[in-house]
Amino acid sequence: MRVIDELILDDNNIAFHPMMGNSYKLNPIAKEILSLYKQHKTKDEIIEELSKKYDVSYNDLHIDVSDFFSKLKIYGIA
């Protein structure tokens, strides 16, 4: 099981990992990215979906989402 699958996302934009006892404050877009990732969407699928939803270019989002995924790896989430 992936660590991301164990995260609990709440309505206050908090992600909590019960086994590790860690919690993370998220902005609404970060929460949306994590929600999509928990649904086993790939990074490219997430970027495509957000690009359409927010009318932002794929290339601009690719940079931001890639950076976010890098941070997830640093925190041991992805």
The pLDDT tens digits of the residues spanning 9-37 come to 999 999 999 988 999 999 999 999 999 99
Q: Does domain 3-74 have CATH number 1.10.10?
A: yes
pTM to 2 decimals? 0.89
Q: What is the pLDDT of residue 61?
A: 96
Domain ranges of the chain: 3-74
Q: How far apart are CA 45 and CA 76, in angstroms?
A: 22
Write the pLDDT tens digit of every residue in 35-62.
999 999 999 999 999 999 999 999 999 9
* pLDDT at 1 > cutoff 80: no
Q: Rounded to whole angstroms, how far apart are CA atoms 44 and 50?
A: 10
Mark out the alpha helices in 1-78 (DSSP H runs). 3-6, 28-38, 43-54, 58-74
